[in-house]
Amino acid sequence: MTATVTVIGGGYAGITVAKALDDVADVTLVEPRDTFVHNVAALRAVTDPVWVERLFIPYEGLLTRGRIRHDRAVRMFGSAVELGSGDRVTSDFVVLATGSRHTYPAKLDVDDSVDARAKLWATHEALSRAPRVLLLGAGPVGLEFAGEIKAAWPDKHVTVVDPAPELMPGGFPAEFRAEVHAQLAALGVELLLGTALTAPPPTAPGHTAPFTTTTSAGAELSADIWFACYGAAPNIGYLVPGRRLDVTPELRLPGSDTIFALGDITSVPEMKMARAAQRHAEVAAANIRALIDGQTNLTAYEPAHDAIVLPLGPHGGVSYAPEAGVLGPEATVGIKGGLFLDAYLDLLGAEAAR
Ligand SMILES: Cc1cc2nc3c(=O)[nH]c(=O)nc-3n(C[C@H](O)[C@H](O)[C@H](O)COP(=O)(O)OP(=O)(O)OC[C@H]3O[C@@H](n4cnc5c(N)ncnc54)[C@H](O)[C@@H]3O)c2cc1C
């Protein structure tokens, strides 16, 4: 009898674990979106619409034996998963990989790829009409977005505000932050750290309309469009609302032998990254294979050290990993100039969409 595996969520972790188990198990991947969304490239898709099409990669080439079910988990009863359609799915193994949401456009907030494309084009158009841009948050999303905007429209005034005293949370050396500061200054990005807005801007995010607001330092700040670039939260409303999931070293839910959880929904102590989510998927797939074979010796996941490849526009950026140290724009563009698109086209068995 072939073991059955239900993977909930077809993001970076979900597609990796589903594909890795397709040859040994009967895999069902449950995902509400009609295509995979390569959200690593979402910010560039707003500034350079050539990337709008590239963001959406069909799921059809991912699995040879298994299937994709366009539905969403709404509740779990033990290891049974209730879907939005009302169906209840039971299987030998369940893998929870429903990831996280973030403010748009860092992560898309509509499931249908036609609507999502239209929204990205509308945001591009709104941004192109705004001479002054305000970004709230000097973490990777705010800084990457600032770099993309200045690369696409060098004449726009871009201001990044963050209440934290330094940019980029995480265990990064001073040399990394100094290089980020230097490149942002060269791009002409205005950075206001250690200060917050006294009230949210009066306009809706992503809409073009001039406004003036004040900072906690008492300064007036005027802009024509703004975006919130902070606030990732796990998608686990079908389980325990609002809290990341604790997992065992083998990436199982505590107390369960057959339910695994991967990627951004977990409380594994490391930066929430696609590459970490995919490493979780590899460990979980190895463990599910071992359990299918009747083995009891499972692999433990080692949390990753803080590391990042941070583009600041298509020609700039800074990277850091403990083993490589700080890398400047040339190396960063070498690693991530193509935003890893080819790797995901390969994984999903898809052709480039242009
Ligand atoms: C702008 C930006 C740039 C980034 N760049 C990088 C980068 O360069 N490198 C890197 O390593 N990381 C990067 N990250 C982080 C990376 O995107 C996340 O860590 C990654 O998406 C996590 O993968 P995941 O599979 O856990 O979840 P997700 O990618 O969030 O996928 C979750 C999937 O589950 C689906 N889902 C949600 N709820 C349900 C439900 N109830 N039932 C069924 N399915 C559901 C969603 O539709 C989605 O497809 C970036 C993040 C952002 C926002």
Per-residue pLDDT of 49-103, as tens digits, reads 999 999 999 999 999 999 999 999 999 998 899 999 999 999 999 999 999 999 9
pLDDT digits (tens, 9 = 90+) for 151-196: 999 999 999 999 999 999 889 999 999 999 999 999 999 999 999 9
Q: Check pLDDT > 80 for residue 132.
A: yes
- Looking at the predicted structure, is the pLDDT value of residue 316 above 50? yes
**Can you say whether the dihedral through the CA atoms of 129, 131, 136, 139 is positive or negative?**
positive
> Whole-angstrom Cα distance, residue 73 to residue 59?
18
pLDDT higher than threshold 80 for residue 241: no
Q: What is the mean pLDDT of residues 289-315?
A: 96
Question: How much distance in Å is there from the Cα of 211 to the middle of ligand 1?
Answer: 32
Determine the pLDDT at residue 352.
61
Ligand 1 atom 41, closest CA = 73
**Ligand 1 atom closest to Cα of residue 99:** 27
Alpha helices in 129-234 (DSSP H): 140-152, 174-187
What's the pLDDT at 89? Answer: 95
- As its CATH architecture, domain 3-32+70-102+232-304 has 3-Layer(bba) Sandwich (3.50)
Mutate to test the pocket of ligand 1, among 34, 273, 327, 335 (most ligand atoms within 8 A of CB): 273
Q: Whose CA is nearest to atom 48 of ligand 1?
A: 11
Nearest CA to ligand 1 atom 43: 72
Choosing from 40, 227, 268 the residue with most ligand 1 atoms within 8 A of its CB, the one to mutate for a pocket test is 40
Instruction: Judge whether 3-32+70-102+232-304 and 114-229 match in fold.
Output: yes
Q: Which residues contact 79 (CB under 8 A, 6 or more apart)?
A: 90, 91, 94, 256, 258, 259
Percent of the chain with pLDDT over 70: 99
The pLDDT value recorded for residue 108 is 97
Dist CA 136 CA 281 (whole Å): 32
**CB 278, CB 16: distance < 8 Å:** yes
Please give the distance, rounded to the nearest whole angstrom, from the Cα atom of residue 9 to the centre of ligand 1: 9
- What average pLDDT does the chain have? 96
Distance (Å, rounded) from C-alpha 87 to C-alpha 319? 45
* The listed CATH number (3.90.1150.10, 3.40.50.300, 3.40.50.970, 3.50.50.60) that belongs to domain 114-229: 3.50.50.60
Mean pLDDT of all residues in 269-288: 97
Residues 6 or more apart whose CB falls under 8 angstroms from that of 223 comprise: 130, 132, 133, 134, 157, 159, 201, 210, 211, 213
Cα 339 to middle of ligand 1, angstroms: 15
Alpha helices in the chain (DSSP H): 12-21, 42-47, 50-54, 113-128, 140-152, 174-187, 274-292, 329-336, 341-347
pLDDT of residue 1: 82
CB-defined site of ligand 1, < 6 Å:
8-14, 30-33, 39-40, 42-43, 72-73, 97-100, 102, 106-107, 141, 235, 238, 263-264, 272-275, 277, 309
- What pLDDT was estimated at residue 8? 98
Q: Ligand 1 centroid vs 214 CA: distance in angstroms?
A: 34
Q: What is the pLDDT of residue 354?
A: 44
* Cβ contacts of 346 within 8 Å, gap of 6 or more: none
Question: What's the one-letter identity of residue 147?
Answer: G
Enumerate residues 6+ apart whose C-beta is below 8 A from 74: 82, 83, 84, 238
The domain limits of the chain are: 3-32+70-102+232-304, 114-229
Among the listed residues 189, 197, 193, the one whose alpha carbon sits nearest the alpha carbon of residue 213: 197
Distance (angstroms) between ligand 1 centre and the Cα of 185 equals 30
Minimum CA distance residue for ligand 1 atom 31: 11
- Asked whether the CA dihedral 30, 33, 34, 40 is positive or negative, the reply is negative
Tens-digit pLDDT profile for residues 24-52: 999 999 999 999 999 999 999 999 999 99
